[in-house]
Amino acid sequence: MSVLPTEINYGNFLLDIHSTLLEDFDTNSRSGKRIFVVEKSKSLVIKELSMETNHPETYDGRQDHIPALKTPEIESFTNVYEGKDYTIDFTVPEFTAVCPKTGLPDFGVIFISYIPTSRCIELKSFKEYILSYRNVGIFHEFLVNKILEDLIAAIDPKYLKVIGDYNARGGIKTIVTREYTKA
């Protein structure tokens, strides 16, 4: 049986695709790799992902565009109780973005707490804003900072706190917090 290898660059992964019959496939010859096999009739698609993840140089420059990332506008409405200090809290329990390193989805909960001045966050537009991150590759740390900065620009609050509480990935749970107090 012949093997027709093709290499495809896909993000950070090198996909090594072979078309061959199942009985010709030998997993022992591919040590040091994680191999995913999908059977398609009498052929296979083999995706090899390197298990080595220590590539710090691949992070440089990947997130430089985040501060200028265009997102839907966060609308606001007039706070008729301006001058009264009260706190507004809301939670995004099913937040999803994409890991810029692996291309896999990142899930978490976003908590927002703020004391408004003259404007309050309009929730429908905020929902659209949050949903716009669904297909964006963004590090946890940068997402929390981006949300905080966009909310400050939209409503100029007296106080604002944004927490990103992410599901564990690789056995590590990440919680990122940033606070702002108007001077």
Instruction: Give the pLDDT confidence of 91-146 residue by residue, as tens digits.
Output: 999 999 998 888 899 999 999 999 999 999 999 999 999 999 998 999 999 999 99
78 with 19, same domain: the answer is no
Task: Let me know if 24 is a catalytic residue.
Answer: no
Q: What is the pLDDT of residue 67?
A: 80
168 with 85, same domain: the answer is yes
Question: pLDDT category, 40, cuts 50, 70, 90?
Answer: very low
29 with 111, same domain: the answer is no
Give the mean model confidence (pLDDT) for residues 67-89.
Answer: 95
CB atoms within 10 A of CB 104: 8
68 with 41, same domain: the answer is no
Q: State the binding site.
A: 121-123, 140-141
Q: What is the pLDDT of residue 57?
A: 59
Residue of 24, 64, 99, 120 marked active site: 99
87 with 42, same domain: the answer is no
- Residue from 134, 139, 145, 152 nearest 177 by CA: 145
Give the mean model confidence (pLDDT) for residues 151-156.
Answer: 98
77 with 42, same domain: the answer is no
Q: What is the pLDDT of residue 96?
A: 96
User: If you ran DSSP here, which 8-state letter would residue 84 be given?
Assistant: S
Statement: residue 181 has pLDDT above 70: yes
State how far the alpha carbon of 104 is from the alpha carbons of 72, 101, 138, 144, in Å.
23, 8, 11, 19
- The DSSP bridge partners found for residue 159 are 115, 181
76 with 136, same domain: the answer is yes
Q: What percent of the chain has pLDDT over 90?
A: 55
- Residue from 114, 179, 105, 115 nearest 144 by CA: 179
Q: What is the pLDDT of residue 56?
A: 54
Question: pLDDT category, 61, cuts 50, 70, 90?
Answer: confident
- E strand or H helix at 96, and its extent? strand 88-98
Statement: residue 7 has pLDDT above 90: no
Q: Which of 18-22, 52-56, 141-145 has the highest mean pLDDT?
A: 141-145
134 with 84, same domain: the answer is yes
In a domain? residue 29: yes
Contacting residues for 12 by C-beta, under 8 A, at least 6 apart? 55, 58, 101, 102, 103
Statement: residue 60 has pLDDT above 70: yes
Q: What is the pLDDT of residue 47?
A: 37
155 with 134, same domain: the answer is yes
In a domain? residue 56: no
In a domain? residue 55: no
In a domain? residue 134: yes
Give the mean model confidence (pLDDT) for residues 68-78.
Answer: 93
| Total number of domains in the chain | 2
In a domain? residue 30: yes
CATH number at residue 108: 3.30.1130.10
- E strand or H helix at 141, and its extent? helix 140-155
Q: State the binding site for substrate.
A: 121-123, 140-141
Rounded Cα distance between 66 and 155, Å, is 20
Q: What is the pLDDT of residue 64?
A: 79
In a domain? residue 88: yes
22 with 66, same domain: the answer is no
Rounded Cα distance between 149 and 180, Å, is 9
99 with 124, same domain: the answer is yes
Task: Let me know if 120 is a catalytic residue.
Answer: no
**Residue range of the domain that includes 120:** 61-181
Residue of 24, 106, 150, 165 marked active site: 106
The mean of the pLDDT values for the chain is 77
Contact assessment for residue 129 and residue 52, using Cβ atoms and an 8 Å cutoff: no
